[in-house]
Amino acid sequence: MAKLHQQISKIVVMTILPIVPLLVHNYNTYLSEDDQGRTCFELLGMDVLIDQKCKPWLLEVSCFSSCSEILY
């Protein structure tokens, strides 16, 4: 199980590294130096498939995850 967690963590890091400049740009766009300690974040959704050999596969990354819709 620890190996699977490490593999998924590696997928997440290797996926996010290329978009760090975009995330920094977005952060700086929404906050200015006058915001006095306020902060923001961007929520990313990642779908990972785990095959029968316990190998994880990244299927999708979404920055438009719908957190406002709750289905009952």
pLDDT digits (tens, 9 = 90+) for 6-54: 999 999 999 999 999 998 888 888 887 777 777 777 888 899 999 999 9
The domain segmentation of the chain, as residue ranges, is 2-62
Whether the per-residue pLDDT at 70 is higher than 70: the answer is: no
- Going by C-alpha positions, the residue among 8, 2, 5, 1 that lies closest to residue 59 is 8
Residue, of 69 and 58, whose pLDDT is higher: 58
